[in-house]
Structure 1
Amino acid sequence: MSEPRYGIWIPVYGNCGAMNHPLEPRDASYSRAKNLIRLAERCGFTTTLIAQHIINPRNQELDQLETWTAAAALAEATSSIEIIAAVKPLLFHPAVLAKMALGIDAISSGRFAINLVSAWFRPEMEKPGINFLSHDERYRYSNEWIRVVKALWSGEKVNFQGDYFQINDLKLSPAPIAKPHPRVYVGGESEPAHELAAKEAHTFFLNGRPIEVIRETIAQVTQKARYRSQPLGFAMSAFVIARPTDQEAEAEYQNLRAMVLAQDDRSELLKGVDSEVVMFKNMAKYPGVGSNGGTAAGLVGSYETVAHRIAEFTKIGVGTFMLQFQPFASEMERFSTEIIPRVQALTVENEAIASLKK
C-alpha cells in the first residue's frame, strides 16, 4: 500500500454541495480560488480540480468561475500542486484546446492536466446554440476529440480524418513539458465512460461511493483496460467530515445534511440534466452531503475512522482523493493536521506487515 495523493475541488459555484454554510462565503471568484489552492499547497495537498460550466447549473443568476482562464492564472500563482482543468469537448475544437493546454503546461512547468467531461447540463449547450448530442454520441465525439488532442500534443505533424474532425498537416510547437503529455483524467458511471477511460485516460475519476461499490467498479474498469501498456490509475471524490469522535462527526453530518435539505432546490438543475446520465440516476441511491458522491464514500467519523477508511480505499486501488470540505479552509487544515499523518502511519505499518509476510 503506497501513500495516496490528496486534492481539492475548487468551489467554482461559490459553495459546496448546495450548502450556504454561515461560516462560508458564497464566492466563486478567482481570488478565493487562488487563496484556497495556495493554502492547499501549504497543507500538503498535491492536486486540484477545477470543474467546468459556463453558467451555474444550480442557479443561472449566480456567479460561476471560468475554468481555463483560472487554470492559467493558478498555474502562475502556485509552485508545486497539479492543476486539473475540466473540459467539455463540445465547447472547444480539439486543436484550440490542445494549444491552450500546452500553454498552461508551460506556465506550470509540467503540472497541468485535463479532466475530460462529456457534458450533462443541457442549457449551457442549448442556450448558446451548441448542438447537444445524445449521451452515447457525446462519448463517441469525446473519444475522437481526445485522440486528436493527444496526437497534437505529440509534437508531430498530424493528419487525421474522422467522423467529427479533419486535421491536415497541423503541428503544434513547442512540445509539452509533461511527458509524454499532460495527464488525462476521465470520469463517469456509464458503460461508455468506462470504455473511454480504459482506452484514453491516465486516471479514472470515481464518484464517492461505498467501498464495495468502488471495489467492483475498479475491477470492471481494470478488466476493460487489461491490454494497456501502462496501468490505469484511480481517483475518488469525497466530502470529509472528521472530528475527535465518531459521535461529533455524525452530529456535524446531520447539521450539514439539514442545511442541504433546507436550502437545496435542485429543480432548475434537474430540468437541465440529460436523463441518460447515470450519475444523476444514482443520486437517490446515495444521498448525503457534497457533490459527485460526497459523503457516500464514508469519510465521516473520528480522525482514526477517517484515516482507516482512506487506507482501506487505498488498498483496493484508489491512489488520489479529490476532497471537499465545509467550511472549506478550516476543515482542509484540520484534514492536513489530523488525517494525513495518521494515513502516513498506517501506510508504514501496512508496508511493514506486507514485508514480514514475504
Structure 2
Amino acid sequence: MSTPSTEPLKFAYWVPNVSGGLVVSKIEQRTDWSYEYNVKLARLAEESGFEYALSQVRYIASYGAAYQHESTSFSLALLLATQRLKVIAAVHPGLWHPGVLAKWIATADQLSGGRAAVNVVSGWFKDEFTKLGEPWLEHGERYRRSEEFIRYLKEIWTSEHAELSGDFYRLHDFDLKPKPVSGEGRAHPEVFQGGNSLDARGMAGRVSDWYFANGNSPEGVEAQIRDVREVAAVHGRAVRFGVNGFLIARETEAEARAVLREIVDKADREAVAGFGAAVKQAGQSTGDGQGMWQDSGFEDLVQYNDGFRTGLVGTPEQIAHRILEYKRRGADLLLLGFLHYLEDVEHFGRHVLPIVRELEAAELERVP
C-alpha cells in the first residue's frame, strides 16, 4: 500500500456548466448549468471546504448534454466571483493552439491572483474533432500531441526565451508577458490530465502535475498511481493524484442505496448506449487495451466518469472512511459529482468533511 500524504486531502467538484447534470438519467437533478446558479454554487463550495472546481468541456450536443458553456471563459467567470477557489479549465489539444491557451491562462491567472489551472484532455469524442474539420488522431498520437502541448505550456510560462521543437508544436525565442503568477511551490499554473491507458500514465509521469483516475476500487486506483510514480521517478519528478467519485450521502445506507438504484433505474438508456459506444471506441484504439471505460458496464456509464465505482454511497461516516481508504492508497484529491449540487455540497461540508478531518488527525497521531 502507498504511504499516504500527511497533507489534508483536497476536494474538487465537477462544475455543472453542461446541461443534464452529472448522471445520464431522467431522475430529478436539482442542478442548473446557468451562470447564476454556478456562481452561487462556487461560493458555497468555497465555504464548504472545496479547494478546486473542474469546468468540463463539450463542444457539441451529445449524450444528455444538449447545451454547454465553454470551459475557459466559464472558469474565468467563476474565478472572478470567488476568493480562494482554484478553477481548472478542461482543454483539448488539437482544438487549441498551446501558445494562445498559454496567453489566455496567464491573463486569467493574473486576474485571479494565481488560481487558474488546466486539465489537458487528449480526447475521446471523435465527432468534436471531425465536425469541426480537425483530424482525429489515433490514440497514441493524441497522447503524444498532449505531451508536447503540456511541454509547450510550461516552457512558455517559465522561460524568457522559450524554445521547443517537436512533431506537433514549435517555439522560437518567444517571451510571454505577463507570465502567470509564480511563488513558493508554484512555478506555473497546475496542469492536470486524466486517462487510464499506459500512454496516459506515461505522459503523467513525464510532464503532468496531477493525474486524474476515473472512478475505480481503491486497489485499481493504487495500481494506476504506482505506474505513474514509476515513470515519474525515472524523470526525477513528483505527481499528485485525484480520483473521480459520485457522492450520495444520506442518514442511512439504505436511503443512499435507494437513490443510487433510482438513478440507474431511470437512466436514459439511449443516451447511455450512445455514450458507451463512443467512449469504448476511443478506448479500444489503445495498444494495451487499458483505455478509459473499457471495463465499464451499463451502470458505470450512467455517471460519465465511472463515479459510482468509487463507492461513495452511504452515511457520512461510511463515506468518510471510504474516502480515507483512497488517501491511504495514494490519492491527494477527490473530484466529486452530486445529484442536487447546492444541497449536497452544503451537506458534504457540514457532515462528511468534519469526519474526514477527524480520521486524518487520528491517523497522523499513529505515525511514528
Question: What TM-score comes out, normalization by structure 1 length?
Answer: 0.93
Aligned twin of 1:266: 272
Task: Please tell me whether the aligned partners of residues 50 and 71 of structure 1 are also in contact (alpha carbons under 8 angstroms).
Answer: yes
CA distance, structure 1, for counterparts of residue 249 and residue 141 of structure 2: 41
Aligned twin of 1:93: 97
Task: Please tell me whether the aligned partners of residues 276 and 301 of structure 2 are also in contact (alpha carbons under 8 angstroms).
Answer: no
Q: Which amino acid aligns with 2:319?
A: V
Correspondences of 1:4-83 after superposition (within 5 Å): 4-14=9-19, 15-25=21-31, 27-59=32-64, 62-83=66-87
Aligned twin of 2:243: 236
In the TM superposition, what whole-angstrom CA distance separates every residue of 1:164-189 from its partner, at most 9, and x where no partner exists? 22222211011210431001111101
Shift of 1:13: 2.1
RMSD, matched Cα:
1.9
Shift of 1:312: 1.1
The more displaced of 87-96 and 29-38 is 29-38
Task: Please tell me whether the aligned partners of residues 3 and 343 of structure 1 are also in contact (alpha carbons under 8 angstroms).
Answer: no
Correspondences of 1:196-235 after superposition (within 5 Å): 196-235=203-242
Aligned twin of 1:311: 324
CA distance, structure 2, for counterparts of residue 58 and residue 272 of structure 1: 10
Secondary structure (helix, strand or coil) at the match of 2:11 reads strand
Secondary structure (helix, strand or coil) at the match of 1:89 reads coil
Aligned twin of 2:338: 325
Secondary structure (helix, strand or coil) at the match of 1:133 reads coil
Give the alignment partner of residue 176 of structure 1, picking from 180, 183, 197.
180
CA distance, structure 2, for counterparts of residue 266 and residue 339 of structure 1: 30
CA distance, structure 2, for counterparts of residue 49 and residue 282 of structure 1: 25
Task: Please tell me whether the aligned partners of residues 151 and 158 of structure 1 are also in contact (alpha carbons under 8 angstroms).
Answer: yes
Task: Please tell me whether the aligned partners of residues 188 and 194 of structure 1 are also in contact (alpha carbons under 8 angstroms).
Answer: yes
Give the paired residue count: 352
Aligned twin of 1:145: 149
- Structure 1: segments with no counterpart, 5+ residues: none
Task: Please tell me whether the aligned partners of residues 48 and 82 of structure 1 are also in contact (alpha carbons under 8 angstroms).
Answer: yes
Task: Please tell me whether the aligned partners of residues 117 and 186 of structure 1 are also in contact (alpha carbons under 8 angstroms).
Answer: yes
Report whether the alignment pairs 1:157 with 2:161. Answer: yes
Query: Given the superposition, is the C-alpha separation of residues 169 and 23 from structure 1 closer, same or farther in structure 2, using an over 3 Å criterion?
Result: closer
CA distance, structure 2, for counterparts of residue 228 and residue 49 of structure 1: 28
The more displaced of 162-171 and 332-341 is 162-171
CA distance, structure 2, for counterparts of residue 315 and residue 136 of structure 1: 31
The more displaced of 183-192 and 223-232 is 223-232
Task: Please tell me whether the aligned partners of residues 110 and 177 of structure 1 are also in contact (alpha carbons under 8 angstroms).
Answer: yes
In the TM superposition, what whole-angstrom CA distance separates every residue of 1:302-321 from its partner, at most 9, and x where no partner exists? 11110101111111111111
Report whether the alignment pairs 1:134 with 2:141. Answer: no
Task: Please tell me whether the aligned partners of residues 225 and 232 of structure 1 are also in contact (alpha carbons under 8 angstroms).
Answer: yes
Aligned twin of 2:287: none
Task: Please tell me whether the aligned partners of residues 98 and 149 of structure 1 are also in contact (alpha carbons under 8 angstroms).
Answer: yes
Query: Given the superposition, is the C-alpha separation of residues 47 and 159 from structure 1 closer, same or farther in structure 2, using an over 3 Å criterion?
Result: same
In the TM superposition, what whole-angstrom CA distance separates every residue of 1:88-117 from its partner, at most 9, and x where no partner exists? 111111111110110111111111111111
CA distance, structure 1, for counterparts of residue 302 and residue 218 of structure 2: 17
Question: What TM-score comes out, normalization by structure 2 length?
Answer: 0.90
Shift of 1:282: 2.4
Aligned twin of 2:118: 114
The more displaced of 119-128 and 35-44 is 35-44
Shift of 1:289: 5.0
Query: Given the superposition, is the C-alpha separation of residues 274 and 128 from structure 1 closer, same or farther in structure 2, using an over 3 Å criterion?
Result: farther
Aligned twin of 2:260: 253
Query: Given the superposition, is the C-alpha separation of residues 267 and 333 from structure 1 closer, same or farther in structure 2, using an over 3 Å criterion?
Result: same
Identity percentage of aligned residues: 32
In the TM superposition, what whole-angstrom CA distance separates every residue of 1:303-346 from its partner, at most 9, and x where no partner exists? 11101011111111111111001111111111111100001111
- Structure 2: segments with no counterpart, 5+ residues: 1-5, 284-290
Task: Please tell me whether the aligned partners of residues 184 and 203 of structure 1 are also in contact (alpha carbons under 8 angstroms).
Answer: yes
In the TM superposition, what whole-angstrom CA distance separates every residue of 1:60-112 from its partner, at most 9, and x where no partner exists? 7x111110111111111111011101111111111111101101111111111
Aligned twin of 1:284: 297
CA distance, structure 1, for counterparts of residue 344 and residue 128 of structure 2: 32
CA distance, structure 1, for counterparts of residue 93 and residue 323 of structure 2: 32
Query: Given the superposition, is the C-alpha separation of residues 353 and 313 from structure 1 closer, same or farther in structure 2, using an over 3 Å criterion?
Result: same
Report whether the alignment pairs 1:351 with 2:339. Answer: no
Give the alignment partner of residue 186 of structure 1, picking from 190, 193, 209.
193
Secondary structure (helix, strand or coil) at the match of 1:281 reads coil
Aligned twin of 1:195: 202
Secondary structure (helix, strand or coil) at the match of 1:184 reads strand
